[in-house]
Amino acid sequence: MSGMITIAIDGFSSSGKSTMARKLAATIGYRYIDSGAMYRAVTLYALRHGWVSDEGVDTESLTKALQEINIDFMPQPDGSQHTILNGEDVENLIRGIEVSESVSPVAAVPEVRHALVAMQQRLGQGGGIVMDGRDIGTTVFPDAELKIYVDASAETRARRRYDEMTAKGIDVDYNEILANVRNRDHIDTTRAESPLRKADDAILLDNSDMTREEQNARLLELFNQTISRCRATD
């Protein structure tokens, strides 16, 4: 073992997995990759070209354009990282409601998934990475040494999203957010291509009643156990 492992963290939207994954990566000195941001960046690109409408996604045009889409991550002085789409910092744009409402159908397009999975596998070569998403433990890194599946009720997640947005001064309706969370859950778990599901060897972490500190501590404990196990079997 090189000493550095691959960590896959999957779960529903707003399950708190990104915050947890980012914190773990910073603590153990690994690189963090937010795979959802990559689907969001592709969605922004498709929206700008008018390829997403109520009728669905113009799969043909989007598929042809995939090789022109370049996604990078740029570390920021505060330790966070921004998503860069073809040289443009799109971090704020990809978190907006427009992208959030269109990302699930774009992420269900098989060609989009193939392109992004290949990109994610390249980014993870050699380990030393914490990647979060929906299919990281099942499809992107099926051999990851540590896989976590984060779960929390739809209401808990909608409440978190509501609190986050109101704290930022954004005027939102809780029931609308809950509907958006449920709709995305439905699309993400029922799509034909790599639906969200727990890998058989993933550890379930239900954080509905856990504080952030408890989650971080649990994750770090799982990481340390995995490292010891890998060393023992080396």
Q: Which residues bind ligand DC (CB under 6 A)?
A: 13, 35-36, 39-40, 103-104, 107, 133-136, 184, 188
What's the min distance (Å) between Cβ of 117 and ligand DC?
A: 8
What CA dihedral angle connects 124, 204, 75 and 177, to 10 degrees? 130
What's the min distance (Å) between Cβ of 204 and ligand DC?
A: 18
CB 109 within 8 A of CB 117: no
Strand order in the sheet with 31-34: 31-34, 129-133, 6-11, 146-151, 203-206
Strands (E), 87-163: 88-89, 129-133, 146-151
**CB-nearer residue toward ligand DC: 206 or 230:** 206
**CB-nearer residue toward ligand DC: 22 or 134:** 134
Decide: residue 28, CB within 10 A, 0-12 exposed, 13-18 middle, 19+ buried. Answer: middle
> Cα(first)–Cα(last) distance of the chain, in Å?
6
**CB-nearer residue toward ligand DC: 92 or 233:** 92
Amino acid at 167: A
**CB-nearer residue toward ligand DC: 5 or 33:** 33
**CB-nearer residue toward ligand DC: 104 or 207:** 104
Distance, CA of 223 to CA of 89 (rounded, Å):
32
What's the min distance (Å) between Cβ of 41 and ligand DC?
A: 10
What's the min distance (Å) between Cβ of 222 and ligand DC?
A: 20
What's the min distance (Å) between Cβ of 136 and ligand DC?
A: 6
